[in-house]
Chains A and B, each alone.
Chain A
Amino acid sequence: MSQTQAQTHGADNGKPQFYLTEDHHPEGSTMLGFWLYLMSDCLIFAVLFATHGVLGRNYAAGPSPADLFDLPLVALNTAMLLFSSITYGFAMLQMERGAKIETLFWLGVTGVFGAAFLSLELYEFNHLIHEGAGPTRSAFLSSFFTLVGTHGLHVTFGIIWLITLMVQVGRHGLIEANKRRLMCLSMFWHFLDVVWIGVFSFVYLMGVLG
């Protein structure tokens, strides 16, 4: 650390520098690669959003969003995902400090909020299907279940990943590889929250608005 600092400072030589003198290649390209994966995932969701935008008003004489959606439940769901985002942030801050137990604690809290989100969503799906508003009822419901279900599936895999990483951190501690993995999951988790903003604005609120 001190060597690298001495080198960069030596290049300064007291003169002000207005540009980077060294061509910097990031050592680990994992973060960039994972970001590119997220962007491709973003395209999947864009296509599903477009499908819902096209089919979202085709009720086939069936129930409309205003009949079906329970906005307080959706608001609670949104709160769960938002809380899980901030607690994951706390986990990342503890990871930077190198505090293993605290990191595991906040990861656990994140997992609980994520599981609460999933249970509420499954409850909603179950309720809709029992009311006869399953994915086969109308084009609107097909596209709704596909879009929201794909998001839910992502959250499910995020939770599996989270538990795996908790076991890894518990066994091997906050080693460099585990930090890298935690940072990837952090991006994944916050990205899912970003997609959910689109879901509750575009699907639920705009749907109920009619």
Chain B
Amino acid sequence: MSGSAHQAVHDAEYQPVFVGEARAKLEALFPRYPTRQACLLPALWMVQEARGWVSERGIAEVADVLGLTPAYVKGVVTFYTMYHTHPVGRHFIQVCTTSPCNICGAEDVVKAFLQHTGCGELGATSPDGRFTVIEVECLGACGFATPVLIDDDFIEGITPERVPGLLQGYK
């Protein structure tokens, strides 16, 4: 929670994202908005896609590229829950547990994921670095309980029984 957000995670390995093709891809977005600032969410997505998370260095780079201050960018990053401000497992698993899914057994699905990934607890990364599991608020697929988002794969109708097989596909 906020306590951990105060602590910047060291990211000495950081290499700039916005060079070459990525830079061109970002710049191609500029004409779509009257301000550079509006490209902030897209730029942060690009950093996360490239590096797996958005570090302080990543924030500083985005700020620099878009003419914003790092503090400003950080305020935005921490507002949106899909940006990771800490490294996560290779596969990031989000299980919906809001009421509609909850009454259909979503908490058992979470337990199954925690057990079969070896993560043990929510937010923790499995010892092999493969998975991180979190509960997420409403994924907007309530009729298909329980929906799960693994990386960019949106998977519907997950039951505890389906979890082990599902995980096979994520190495």
Are A and B genuine complex partners? no
